[in-house]
Amino acid sequence: MAKSKSSATTKTTTKEENILVKYYRETRAELYKVTWPTREEARTLTLIISAVTVAMAAFLGVFDYVFQVVVRGIISGDLIMVGAGVVLFAAAAAAFYFNAQEE
């Protein structure tokens, strides 16, 4: 008995793409969709970020120094620094309270 061609089934297998190759291709496709800033925009934004970073560092440095002086005074028992500590604590509590009220 001979087998008929119609009864033979052909199995097609698809080779799975390597996961790293797939990741690379998808990443590359996404990068082509990005709207990149111009050189002037990148320069301007970099200057803004640098200025804000320096300003925040100075701001936090001043506050750190003030709190250091107040805490040192509180630990040493200086009444003026204890009063300053109470005032700073009250101001911080008020700021948190009023900030929570706005939401």
Give the global pTM.
Answer: 0.54
Residue 39 is encoded by which pair of tokens? 């050189």
Q: How many CB atoms lie within 10 A of CB 88?
A: 14
For residues 52 and 41, give the distance between their C-alpha atoms in angstroms, rounded to a whole number: 17
Q: Residue 13 has what pLDDT?
A: 57
Q: Tens digit of pLDDT for each residue in 13-70?
A: 566 778 999 999 999 999 999 998 999 999 999 999 999 999 999 999 998 998 888 8
Two tokens, residue 65: 């120094």
Q: Grade residue 79 by pLDDT with cuts at 50, 70 and 90.
A: confident
Q: How many CB atoms lie within 10 A of CB 36?
A: 8
How many CA atoms lie within 13 Å of 86's alpha carbon, on the beta-carbon side? 6
Q: How confident is the model at residue 2 (pLDDT cuts 50, 70, 90)?
A: low
Interaxial angle between packed helices 79-102 and 39-76, expressed in degrees from 0 to 180 and rounded to the nearest 10: 140
